[in-house]
Structure 1
């Protein structure tokens, strides 16, 4: 069965970059959400195998979305994506249930490696 991955980021450019990187690695079942409310709704409806979640978004923060997803599905696999300089947020995200974090801007190979590792574990 093909892995279903959801990208959550308010920036269209970032969602497109992540999507293209995943598609190059052979992942084609990709969902996108532009904000936290949309992300939670899609998660509940689609149950993706992995969520790539931005921390800084308008409305709900990635940390709030992470909390809602983990509360709904304690086994959810969530990787946080954040800009450099958000070490405190990263620590908080890991404490709230995120499995890993990727710092933006990221190398395509790094993203592919983390995604493969999380999906295989």
Structure 2
């Protein structure tokens, strides 16, 4: 069964890059959001199997959005995306329920491994 994914990142280029990687590896991208507020709204509407969540975004960051999604659906599967040097925020995200994290710039093998693991 194809896994349905929502991509959350404030940078359109990063969403496009991640969408390309996921679609080429058998994932279906069902929604995209550019900030945490949008992410929570779209999660409730689409109920994707997996979410890739950027940590640093305007309006509401990824850790707060993760908490909002977890409050709505404790079984949600969220993989955080971070730039180098955001270890503190990554640890907050893991403590808040993220299942894994991937580092930008994206490495295709690492992205797919993280999402395959999160999908279990």
**Pair in the same fold by TM > 0.5:** yes
* 2:37 corresponds to: 37
C-alpha distance in 2 between matches for 1:45 and 1:2: 18
* 1:113 corresponds to: 113
Deviation at 1:12, TM superposition (A): 0.3
Question: For structure 1, which runs of at least 5 residues remain unmatched after alignment?
Answer: none
C-alpha distance in 1 between matches for 2:50 and 2:94: 15
Question: For structure 2, which runs of at least 5 residues remain unmatched after alignment?
Answer: none
State the superposition RMSD in angstroms.
Answer: 1.0
TM-score normalized with structure 1 length: 0.95
Deviations 1:28-64 (A, max 9, x none): 3431111111110110111110000000000101011
* 1:15 corresponds to: 15
| Displacement over 3 Å in runs of 4+ | none
TM-score normalized with structure 2 length: 0.96
Q: For this pair of structures, how many residues does the alignment match? A: 120
* 2:97 corresponds to: 97
